[in-house]
Amino acid sequence: MPRQFFVGGNFKLNPTSRAQKQALVKVLNDADLDLNTEIVISPPSIYLIPLKEIVRKEIKVAAQNCYYKDNGAFTGEISAGQLADAGIPYVILGHSERRTLFHETSEEVAQKTKAAVAAGLSVILCVGETLQERESGATTKVVSEQLDAVVKAIKEEDWAKVVIAYEPVWAIGTGKVATSAQAQETHLAIREYLTKAVSPKVAEDTRIIYGGSVNAGNCKELSLQPDVDGFLVGGASLKPEFVDIINAKKVKAKV
């Protein structure tokens, strides 16, 4: 089966009001969307449930983080089980902002991934190298090490619940997008890594999406790469052009 194209919108710590959140949803609810693409949007946790209640049913909702413990004295955390109980199907884990600003290690990300799949959630698992790592030729090594921790923590069948987001740190929020050749090269390296570390089937079936300054202007070319199975979009997911990114694979009807 071909891999279903996937477009996620990571709202990060946006928008700043419930009214703006409703306006973002209205744009998506009114848009002509390519429903062959899996569409997931990820608002701040306070908006997860109200957003899920007003967004059209073809659009899924993702949390931006969860904790690996089920419950207990962990102030400020939300568990994977609580997300599942609230009907939230996806969670983003290991985003570079969480790794750098909140010091999450690959082992913690792996524990969270394990807890999320055990709770029945699907995971958008983020990996990516810094500019210094890319320039020193360490990109494949860095993303392989980030994935190694998860490979050790979950079972082969759990990979059916994982989408890998390759997000080079130097491309996030910088306006500096990876070229389609750079994205393809790393996506292929991730697929080759999965073949060896997990299995050829998991490598073939797992969606590997690209994130980092994706916009309406660059999404088409990136989407043509054979190992680019979609996008995780930050800044542009808050703008009307997000509709064009969702529709990157849409075949125009002949007139």
Decide: 238 and 14 in contact? Cβ < 8 Å. Answer: yes
Indicate if 187 belongs to the active site: no
Q: Which of 38, 129, 167, 187 is catalytic?
A: 167
Per DSSP, what are the bridge partners of residue 39? 7, 59
- Pick the stretch among 131-139, 144-152, 192-200, 226-234 that binds ligand 13P (CB under 6 A): 226-234
Residue 7 in contact with ligand 13P, rule: CB under 6 A:
no
Q: Minimal distance in Å, beta carbon 234 to ligand 13P? A: 2
Enumerate residues 6+ apart whose C-beta is below 8 A from 195: 203
* The token pair that represents 39 in the structure block: 């569409």
Residue 181, number of CB atoms within 10 A of its CB: 9
- Note the residue count of the chain: 255
- Helices 139-153 and 106-118: crossing angle in degrees, nearest 10, is 40
Indicate if 167 belongs to the active site: yes
Q: Which of 38, 95, 97, 104 is catalytic?
A: 95
By C-beta, is 81 or 235 nearer to ligand 13P? 235
Q: Minimal distance in Å, beta carbon 6 to ligand 13P? A: 13
Decide: 191 and 227 in contact? Cβ < 8 Å. Answer: yes
Residue 234 in contact with ligand 13P, rule: CB under 6 A:
yes
Which residues in this chain contact ligand 13P in the complex, by CB under 6 A? 10, 95, 167, 172-173, 211-214, 232-236
> Mind telling me the catalytic residues?
95, 167
